[in-house]
Structure 1
């Protein structure tokens, strides 16, 4: 009998306390970037640290790689509630000192929508506005320095005009507008000085 066959060399065992790694989705990375941007906006991070952590978050492929970028930051629930504003023929207006939610859905059949964020309290680095406007017009006024994009808005016979800068800037709110305006009009601009 061959003694090697009776006493095989042990294979490298897998440690029992190994934690499985989770592959990240785009939403996981986006949520991490939001936490980092919010920490910067709150004054918890400097510009260099902001850039480093965002790079870590965007290049992470597993939850273990992402963890160092957000471990010491206050966590915010991913599933924040969407605030809904609805009107059939009237107008939807928000202005002055109001609290802007993280996610806002505005539905209007024939009315007018005016969201003035120039003096509002915006506690989030990014705000998502979902706009469903069949007819009528919508105006979104941003604070000075804020950015916006309306790339997610679909229109048939309507018009979309975004006069605000489109690329997000560190420390400034970014508003992302999506939705449908079959015959409606949308104007996004910064507040006049």
Structure 2
């Protein structure tokens, strides 16, 4: 049984392990690792308990490209994204007096985790996430009404994690999973 580190903030979770395993598989696909090296390092990552163990398994890989960030802003008006649009790693959405509707159900999501930072004043807002997505609302602060969200029952693992953070003032944020 592995011993726990003295500093608990260095512990890793399943998301950290999954992300590191994907990075190793990508490095293998790009020719940076042999099949044997990838297998050995993925095994180390999946057994890792600390950030240091993950960092050592990822050592010698090329530096990871910085995630891209985009901002959508409408001080007074409607924000709407739907269809096959490319979702950046970090998306900032700012609206003071209007509606926001982000539909990620058919969007192109290229990263395992998408951070959506909202700054919403008044008005109704809705985010539709892919059917197999996991939603994390830990970083969301609300001023008036709690967000509406029901986690999907029987969701299959492997979908993206959508982390929603920021501030909702006097509006209401509704998050739902796509039906198909």
TM-score of the alignment, normalized to the shorter chain, above 0.5: yes
Say yes or no: does 1:89 pair with 2:76: yes
Unaligned 5+ segments in structure 1 are 1-22
Larger Rg: 1
Offset at residue 97 of structure 1 (A)? 0.6
Deviation of 1:61 after TM superposition, in Å, equals 5.3
Task: Kindly indicate whether the alpha-carbon contact (under 8 Å) linking 2:10 and 2:50 is maintained by their aligned counterparts in 1.
Answer: no
Query: Counterparts in 2 of 1:70-89, with a 5 A limit?
Result: 70-71=58-59, 75-77=63-65, 79-89=66-76
Equivalent residues in 2 for 1:114-193 (5 A)?
Answer: 114-165=101-152, 170-193=157-180
TM-score normalised to structure 2 length: 0.72
Contact 2:88 2:114 in 1 (8 A): yes
Describe the superposition over 1:97-145 as per-residue Cα deviations: whole angstroms up to 9, x where unpaired.
1110000000000111111111011000000000010101211111111
For the aligned residue pairs, the C-alpha RMSD in angstroms reads: 3.7
The whole-number CA distance in structure 2 between the counterparts of 1:93 and 1:172 is: 23
Cα offset, 1:81, TM superposition? 3.6
The TM-score, its normalising length taken from structure 1, stands at: 0.68
**Counterpart selection for 1:60 from 35, 39, 50:** 50
Distance in 2 between residues matched to 1:42 and 1:121, nearest whole Å: 21
Would the aligned equivalents of 1:148 and 1:162 in 2 still touch at CA under 8 Å? no
Q: Kindly state the Cα deviation for residue 149 of structure 1 after the two structures are TM-superposed.
A: 1.6
User: Could you tell me whether the CA contact under 8 Å between 1:38 and 1:125 is conserved in 2?
Assistant: no
1:183 CA drift (Å): 0.7
After superposition, the Cα gap between the structure-2 partners of 1:99 and 1:156, relative to the gap in structure 1 and judged at 3 Å, is same
Question: 1:106 pairs with 75, 93, 96, which one?
Answer: 93
Q: Does 1:69 align with 2:54?
A: no
Give, in whole Å, the separation in 2 of the partners of 1:82 and 1:175.
15
Distance of 2:59 and 2:173 partners within structure 1 = 39
Runs of 4+ residues over 6 Å off in structure 1: 27-32, 40-46
Give the unaligned 5+ runs of structure 2: 1-6, 30-34
**Residue aligning to 1:16:** none
Alpha-carbon shift at residue 184 of structure 1 (Å):
1.4
Classify 1:74/1:191 alpha carbon distance in 2 versus 1 (closer, same or farther; 3 Å).
farther
**Which of 5, 11, 21 is the aligned partner of 1:36?**
21
SS in 2 for 1:192: coil
